[in-house]
Structure 1
Amino acid sequence: MFHDSSFMVRKHGQAAMTAVLILLFVSLAAVFGASALALREAKAARNNESSRFAYFAAEAGVEDGVYRLLRNKNLSPAYSVTLNGATADTIVTNISSAKKEIKTVGDFSNTIRAVRTEVITGTVGVNFFYGVQVGDGGLEMGNNSQVNGSVYSNGSITGSGLITGDAIVAGGILQNPSVEWTAQNSDNFFATISTNRDIAQSFMANTNGNLNRVSVYIAKVGNPTSNITLRITNDNGDKPATSNIASAVIPYTYVGLSAGWVDASFASSPSLTNGNKYWIVLDYGSNSSVNYWNWRKDNTDAYAGNTGKYTSSWSSGSASWTNVGGDLAFRAWIGGTNTRIEGVTIGNSSSGTGRANLFVGATVHGSSCPNQYCIVENPAREELPISDGVIQDWRDEASSGGTCAPPLCDALGNLEIMNGSSKTIGPIRIPGTLKVSNNAALTINGTVFVEGVIDFSNNCIIKLAPGYGANSGVILSDDVINVSNNCTFQGSGQSGSYILLLSAKVDPTEEVIEVSNNSIGVIYYAQGGKIEFSNNASAKEAVGYGIEMENNATITYESGLQNVNFASGPTGGWGIDYWQEIVP
């Protein structure tokens, strides 16, 4: 019995020990399992935090690139940013002249996230309503020269050519402004808040006569999309009166991000009296903290007896005007010069009218003047449709693509494409000259700015890249442009796409663009000088300070030119096409 009892005790002890060991193992397993789960969760949390930081950095890189585009700041092809210990490497790719891809890879502790956006440029809309539009230099027409379309000129139309549409000649202005304050050394923003929507500058008339043109030195900030109304008012106790004596619309597309002179003329020019004070008022109907305007000023306020002021609503009887702390830059032309239509033929026996304050030996609507279609009046001026500020924006747009250097250009910055060769360029700044000749082809993939002479000749082909779509492109020079011997210009291949060839050289006495010998298919623009067409030269459209059409030259207007959209980053603004996370 005793033996059996001892055995049973040992047996029960072993069972207890086994149960304890099993319980210990279960407890240890639970502890290790919980610890492993906690470690996994901690690791997941760390990975999630790393992933979030990497993503935030990638977003920041893309946002920085978009911000630089929207604010017209320098945007490098590749750059890096750091955020909360994460790095973001960004690559900017020019897909076309009107489209960029911004891709950023964010990295935090070897955790990678990537974001990509595609931005597309807006456009600068320019209206060409006439086959030929001419400034104060006027239009001279040689034997058998012809404009297939209408002509609007601020100077005289003379010669012996044919205009198939209508011809309008406005009264001329003096070469120099009558009154001006052109000094400007600081910005003066307006339409940023409701209390500064309207802004004005006073001036004193120094002669009796009609106010035929006013220029203001302004720029846009961001992308305001409503027009400005320029008003002329009398003085009312050292502030503008609450009604205007004349007004004109400044289209928002006419103003660049770069400050420049913006011209305005009036449907009915007001008569000013020598010694009286008047006000130039810029009236804007809204305000924005990101899209607004800048009328540059001279903060010395040295224009004696005159100054700039702003208010919330110029026409309100209770308007409170506040000094801007200086004089706002302006120019004003009072009085004018006589102009005429002389010698040319306008229309045919069933069409065509002429409008001018004098007709001399002209034939209109099939018979010699005077007749009912030779309308004697003083038409309003029509200012040329591209401002200095927009032209400067195009320079900046081209320069954003880099400066031409070897091996594309030579050491002096000259680019020559010759003898059947072809190249694609743009956006680009060429510091020297550009020459395309002898069956060579040049494809434009972005705005091209040439500081020197442009020479296109001998069966050359100049065309836009397909990426322009329905938009048009710009080639501009600060010097003379020569086009000769059967050069052709082509858009992108889509309807409404054209090339604008623009000389920004200012010399009213010189031919800054010379076109000859069957060169076709382009819009020519020279607001600071003359354009000469000779020897069967032709064009889609011509706009210049003055235009000379030699024997047999032809300009044929296309109706699509009424609203030409030029692809341009800075002025047209950029928009987001898409924005998404991608696999790194």
Structure 2
Amino acid sequence: MYNKGSQSGQLIIFALVFMLIMTTAAVSLISYALLNLKGTRQDYNQNKALYLADAGLNKAIYELNRNPDYNGESDTALGEGVFSVSVTTLTGNSKRITSTGFIPNSANPKYFKTVKATLSIDNSVIAFNYGVQAGTGGFFMTGGSTINGNVYSNGNIVATNGVRITGSATAANPPALAADQVNDSPAPIDPCTSSTCVTFANTSAAQDFAQSFRISQAVPLSNIQFYLKKVGAPSNATVKIMNDNAGSPGSTTFMSGTLSASAVTANFGWVTVAMPSTPILDPAQTYWLVIDAASNSSKYYIIGANSDGYANGTAKVGRVGSSWSSTTPAGLDGYFKIFLGGGTSTIGG
């Protein structure tokens, strides 16, 4: 016989049992989460105490380098806690450092860690005594900054806007001037042929000449030489160092100088172009030497060239800001020299 009341009672019992199971599971999960959170907090605070102890150890080493009679300190505040340091003499040249970090304080610490180290005292003179040492790129200070110590640079030291160096400042000269990249053994070029000369600045399609290269060291670029002659009386040209973009000159100019037309004659000869600004190029990057000239069918330049004479680049003709093409025949390299180094470093602002 069907008993509706009996079935309803069974459903209520099942619901209560299910709710009890779910409540127990929820309580277990919450308890686990709280326990895990507590453990995480403990680990976090234990690590903070350890970092405080390490800070005290480093402070003791610093102080002993300044004053061999330093014997420690107590309750030095740092961050969310304090550290205390004791120094014990073991021998004449050996000391034991004990540093303890406390969270939040040493009187009633909730967490603490202790580190120990044995320090040997050496009275020899340390060779490096500079607060800052810079390479050939030089050293720049601004914004009222201060260096507590000496400064040594292999390039210029430039300091502006109220900066301060408490010690000495030394600006060493860069390496002596030397040819770094060269294609400099021109065979007799008379008369010109398509494989010994590259003509440019006579048409818009070959208005400019470009030669890719890579330097061997990060030293300021001083000047460039080209093996050139002119036809007629072309105007001055601009020599640029430009970035590489997929095997052709890009759109970024790193430095530029003037190729004086009066320095070029009707016969081939080496012509020097000085660079007024000398940023340091990256030996890992490819760059382009570009002679940017005006186009005139009766007033133009010719650069001596050979086939694959330079291993680190190739020559192209075209126009800055437009398209570039391989030489005809392809694979020619212009005669050029790139000089790095030289000059005198300065200190100023």
TM-score (norm 2): 0.44
TM-score (norm 1): 0.27
Structure (1 or 2) with the larger CA radius of gyration? 2
